[in-house]
Structure 1
Amino acid sequence: MKKKFLALSLAAALGVSLLSGCTQDTAPSPSPSASTPAEPSPSQTVSETYTYADTVAWDGRYDVVIVGFGGAGSMAAMAAADEGARVLLVEKAPEGHEGGNTRYCGQLFANGNGNYEDTLAYYKALAGDHEIPKAMLELYAREIANLADTISDKLGLNKEEFMAWNGIPVIGSMSPEYPEFPGSDSITLTSTHAGISDGYLWQAMRKQVTDRADKIDVWFESPAVSLVQDPASKTILGVTVERGGEKLNVRADNGVVLTLGGFENNPEMLADYLGLTDSRAIGTLYNTGDGIDMVLDVGADLWHMEAYEGIGDFSGSVVKVPEGERGTTMFGSSFTQGGSIFIAGDGNRYLREDELTRHGHIKLGDAWMNARRPLRSFVICDETQFNAFTMPENAVNVQSASSIADLAALIDVDADTLVKTVENYNSYAKAGYDPQFGRSAESMAPITGGTYYAVELTAAMLNTQGGARRNENAEVLDRSGNPIPHLYSAGEFGGITAFQYQGGGNIAECVIFGQIAGKNAAEVKNDTLPAYTAAEKVTSNIVHTPGVTTDLAASEAPDVTLGENEYLGVSHNGMGGDLYVKVTMDGDKISTVEIVQHAETDGISDPARDQIPGAIVEANSTEVDNVSGATITSKAIKEAVEDALSQVK
């Protein structure tokens, strides 16, 4: 019968008995099968007495357990598997939504182009007066300096196709993002092909996991809820995972790696740590800060909890959408030009509308800081500017009126104040000089016309950086600065960024520390757990072992009834894995193409799913252009259609 492991306080109350020294067997043994009884780990064996691990009813057992199937988790799983470890990768999101922010990001990485000294100087300047351990910063800079080679080698990508985005509109402003800093001449924002925001890099990372399916099991919709820790040695023994409505204790013989992202979807944590009471995530909706509580319970220290990144125009804003839905990034929008202004809930302007932000940071003296935001904010614009903007379909508060005073009433803003604000701005636009905020003359035009619009905005939340403090070995540290045995982290969960952020830095961190964490977690530890008598030894029924339970097996073909001249085709190379289509032929012509099953990313793959099938039918060929921003899905649809056509007699 399963028994809950004791909390630390209860263990202390009962009294932990540290008996005589325990012997250990350092010879590795194969991972247990489903029928193997619970035995002590080869690196944690005792001779006559039992340990705390023997008082836990284990349901599963692996060498390494990784929490979070995103960029860092993928790299950690790959590295651990390549060291010979049998890995369990658990993910909170359902299949098709895994990937964390790596799935949704621009697919670009920070690149030092081989120059370590420049890269180190640049990242020191980014940190400002925030302390980052010397060994960690040097390692980070050394790896970023050679990251193009690492990504090419580890992910099997052609370095000749990599593209630096210097000087290219919008993205080029991040390549480098701080050109005034020392070493910036060597820093670029680089993509792995001539495209961005299309899932290309994430798909390459995910493929490294699927290619190692014989060594890596994956559980979707299986959030980790707590860590299992030996109360005396503080060693992390495993993870409690919630799966199918049941809590399962999974033993990790060599290590646990936390790559479960930040807390950008946790309103309480956003308010407590950032003072931010309203925002919308533009990446994953599954980063809810679960790891924060988990590591606090095992005595870990936290760092960089105040650091976060926004994105886009207006100090990092998005059009307000319902809670729990992703925001749409605003880059180079019409609202930064012409007849439009940005106001707070009191009807006054409060920032320069055309200022180019740096990941949501605006210039404050000699530094770039996250903007202080009012409780409510709106774009006020005329019809010309409104029509030039593509409004999200799920925008929650878009108002129009024939006068500014009437518009003020619709958004609950003082009419006299808003009328005066617009009048003042119009006078600045006509004069070509903005004495309030210094907006450029070429960006201003009077707000005029018969219809006026208000669009409510909120903060665009790209990601948080805070989490468990770690060192250069990716070891999680306790509050005294000591590593917590067998616990590692990587990625945005305790990211290295403490102050100013260079675009592509989080992807770099996923690659760098993901590999370090996975490799170190896989190492067989020559440590010994102390004997334990404060609770009874139990017999475990270990069911979940390597190769027995996984959700990553090739998806089953959909149950589709095929009529005459109808064919089912599949591509295994979608951004989310298998993509199936049904193709109907009319003689030698393609009559219809229907996507019948996929695990692509909503919001990114939509244009390809909407356009490519029709384009194939019109061309009667798969030789059609990919949809920009949805390259992976475009190629997968065409590949699936080709598979279907190969079956035509």
Structure 2
Amino acid sequence: MSISQKNHYDLVVVGTGAAGTSAALEAAQSGASVLLLEKGHHTGGSSNYTEGLFAVDSYLQKEQGIKASGTDVLKEEVIYSKYKADARIWRNYVDDSPKTVKWLSDQGVQYEGVQAMGEGAATWHIYKGMGFAVLHDALLPQAKKLGVELLTLTTATALHTTDTGAIKGVTIRNEGTGETHEVSTSAVVLATGGYLNNPDMMKDLTPYDTSRLIPVSSGKGTGDGLRLGWNIGARKYGTGMAMLFGGYLKDPDQPSFKLMESQMNTAAGQQPLLWVNEHGERFVDESVIYNFSYAGNALYTQNQVYSILDQGVIDRMSREGNFMGLGVYVKRGEKMAKLQDEINAAVTANKPFIFKADTLNELAEKMDLPVDTLTHTITTYNRYCENGQDQTFGKDPEYLVKVAKGPFYGFKLNIGAFCTMGGLQVTPNNEVLDNHGNPIGGLYAAGNDAAGLTGDTYGPNMPGTCVGYAFYSGRNSGRHAANYAKSLAAIQTQNN
């Protein structure tokens, strides 16, 4: 008995996140027969938790009077990547971005509006219901209407090629029964979400100590698509980057993503207040948190980082609002009405990430930090706050808030990470290249599996670019894969 309904498809898409689902739907809209594979029980992957996508010159920005230059964005992002990003890909992505916003709307996606994140530009198009609603209420239903066959608990275990190296088939496996089956296909789109959740690949391909990273994702990004491509001669390219997002608490009693909506987590890890290292010393201008990738890099320079909050700033954030939020989970400026209760609960539960003391000396002892060093650091910092000038790192006086009112709280910070990006080098058409720089016939990569959008860090100065690229590159892959399959079919018809 066959796992799939048919033995041949114009296109097989591996992965059901924003990239894979968009590829399947776009290809079906172009007239292709499509098999869409999901290795888990549930579709969507980490895209379910996304908040909004990047675009320039969209109809929503025009309605809000927001102006941005696509060329300026392109130049900024390529420079940001230290010219490791492919400017051709960025050009096409930027130019197509308003069309992707409209395409999603045409499928039934609803938007809340456009906003910025941190100090970035207002390019972030927030959709209602998070990515889950985009995928499950709009894109997947539309794909099924057009005949896309969706198989869950089904993995692609191998790609098969012709004598000339072009795609000709895929081996798929039912994860429930272990049964395997080979389907014939003209094209494949790899959209499996990168490799953040594969410790071995993270160790081999990135400089990060994974014990310090807190992956906040679906857990499915295990490099499946990359290995499929590499096994048939695709070039290994653009690895080494993880999308960091600053300080994050590690609660061993619950999944990491549960803390995304926690006001305590945001107060502890996402504010431009006071950070110290394992020696009790400041080490950076803490307002780096307004660029969360830079903040992740800064935190990583130290072996351990703690944030220090006093009762005064906790009361201030509860009464007046935070300095910096965490996406749409905890919005910037939001009054932290739950903060004190969440802190109290964590202290009562003796969570390993939080320390409370009535004096700074006692706090240092509880955190196992040098008492003299920590008290000297805070005394010096408080003097900067009184004078309105950070003489060490030059932090904006707006964020110089004294640590003076007990009780005092210390929070042990790890480094949050959303995803990796890269692994397969692609053309502007999202065709996967081999080791000689030539496209592998019929093989495409989209989203986090495709290199070309970033350098060694992600650019949150233009928020929404990661998932925006997933939607765009998925559509781009699906459209070109469908056309490729049509051209092969036409040639075969002529030959017959």
Is 2:460 the counterpart of 1:526? no
The answer as to whether partners of 1:347 and 1:418 remain within 8 angstroms in 2 is yes
Larger Rg: 1
Give the % identical residues: 23
Q: Aligned to 2:124, which of 186, 189, 196?
A: 189
Deviations 1:507-550 (A, max 9, x none): 32222221222233332453999xxxxxxxxxxxxxxxxxxxxx
Is 2:114 the counterpart of 1:164? yes
State the partner residue of 2:291.
358
The answer as to whether partners of 2:41 and 2:152 remain within 8 angstroms in 1 is yes
State the partner residue of 1:65.
12
* Structure 1 residue 337, shift from structure 2 partner: 10
Is 2:106 the counterpart of 1:174? no
* Structure 1 residue 370, shift from structure 2 partner: 7.0
* Structure 1 residue 371, shift from structure 2 partner: 6.0
State the partner residue of 2:74.
123
Report matched runs for 1:532-571 at 5 Å.
none
How far apart, CA to CA, are the structure 2 residues paired with 1:118 and 1:408? 49
Is 2:400 the counterpart of 1:444? yes
How far apart, CA to CA, are the structure 2 residues paired with 1:510 and 1:228? 25
Is 2:34 the counterpart of 1:87? yes
Please, which moves more after superposition, 81-90 or 335-344? 335-344
Q: Aligned to 1:321, which of 240, 243, 251?
A: 251
Q: Which has the higher contact order (CA 8 A, sep 6+)?
A: 2
* Structure 1 residue 61, shift from structure 2 partner: 4.4
In structure 2, the CA distance between the partners of 1:445 and 1:173, relative to structure 1 (3 Å rule), is closer
How far apart, CA to CA, are the structure 1 residues paired with 2:244 and 2:283? 18
How far apart, CA to CA, are the structure 1 residues paired with 2:290 and 2:354? 24
Report how many aligned residue pairs link the two structures.
Answer: 443
Deviations 1:360-411 (A, max 9, x none): 225xxxxx97764322211122234456463488864212233333333333
In structure 2, the CA distance between the partners of 1:224 and 1:347, relative to structure 1 (3 Å rule), is farther
State the partner residue of 2:357.
401
Which secondary structure does the structure 1 equivalent of 2:449 belong to? coil
Paired amino acid for 1:302: K
State the partner residue of 1:281.
215
How far apart, CA to CA, are the structure 1 residues paired with 2:14 and 2:120? 31
In structure 2, the CA distance between the partners of 1:324 and 1:486, relative to structure 1 (3 Å rule), is farther
* Structure 1 residue 423, shift from structure 2 partner: 2.3
Which secondary structure does the structure 1 equivalent of 2:234 belong to? coil
How far apart, CA to CA, are the structure 2 residues paired with 1:486 and 1:459? 38
Q: Aligned to 2:432, which of 437, 460, 476?
A: 476
Paired amino acid for 2:103: T
State the partner residue of 1:152.
105
Please, which moves more after superposition, 256-265 or 140-149? 140-149
In structure 2, the CA distance between the partners of 1:324 and 1:496, relative to structure 1 (3 Å rule), is farther
State the partner residue of 2:191.
259
Paired amino acid for 1:102: S
How far apart, CA to CA, are the structure 2 residues paired with 1:203 and 1:359? 29
Q: Aligned to 1:493, which of 449, 458, 461?
A: 449
* Structure 1 residue 476, shift from structure 2 partner: 0.8
State the partner residue of 1:345.
278
Consecutive unaligned residues in structure 1, runs of 5 or more = 3-31, 35-59, 177-187, 363-367, 530-649
Paired amino acid for 1:223: T
State the partner residue of 1:182.
none
Deviations 1:569-624 (A, max 9, x none): xxxxxxxxxxxxxxxxxxxxxxxxxxxxxxxxxxxxxxxxxxxxxxxxxxxxxxxx
The answer as to whether partners of 2:119 and 2:290 remain within 8 angstroms in 1 is no
Which secondary structure does the structure 2 equivalent of 1:328 belong to? helix
* Structure 1 residue 78, shift from structure 2 partner: 0.8
* Structure 1 residue 270, shift from structure 2 partner: 3.1
TM-score (norm 2): 0.77
Paired amino acid for 2:197: N
How far apart, CA to CA, are the structure 2 residues paired with 1:72 and 1:202? 10
How far apart, CA to CA, are the structure 1 residues paired with 2:100 and 2:466? 13
Report matched runs for 1:455-466 at 5 Å.
455-466=411-422
* Structure 1 residue 460, shift from structure 2 partner: 1.6
Paired amino acid for 1:164: V
How far apart, CA to CA, are the structure 1 residues paired with 2:52 and 2:272? 34
Deviations 1:216-263 (A, max 9, x none): 222223333333344663535213435215152332422111111112
TM-score (norm 1): 0.60
Is 2:73 the counterpart of 1:138? no
How far apart, CA to CA, are the structure 2 residues paired with 1:205 and 1:272? 38
Is 2:185 the counterpart of 1:246? no
The answer as to whether partners of 1:236 and 1:485 remain within 8 angstroms in 2 is no
State the partner residue of 2:50.
105
Which secondary structure does the structure 1 equivalent of 2:365 belong to? helix
Q: Which structure is higher in helix share?
A: 2
Q: Aligned to 1:380, which of 308, 313, 333?
A: 308
Q: Aligned to 1:222, which of 108, 129, 154?
A: 154
* Structure 1 residue 472, shift from structure 2 partner: 1.7
The answer as to whether partners of 2:422 and 2:450 remain within 8 angstroms in 1 is yes
Paired amino acid for 1:104: Y
* Structure 1 residue 209, shift from structure 2 partner: 4.5
Paired amino acid for 2:381: Y
Please, which moves more after superposition, 226-235 or 264-273? 226-235
The two structures, once aligned, show a CA RMSD in angstroms of: 3.6
How far apart, CA to CA, are the structure 2 residues paired with 1:289 and 1:298? 15
Which secondary structure does the structure 2 equivalent of 1:437 belong to? coil
How far apart, CA to CA, are the structure 2 residues paired with 1:73 and 1:474? 13
Please, which moves more after superposition, 496-505 or 393-402? 393-402
Deviations 1:121-158 (A, max 9, x none): 421331114155554343223212544333333x2457
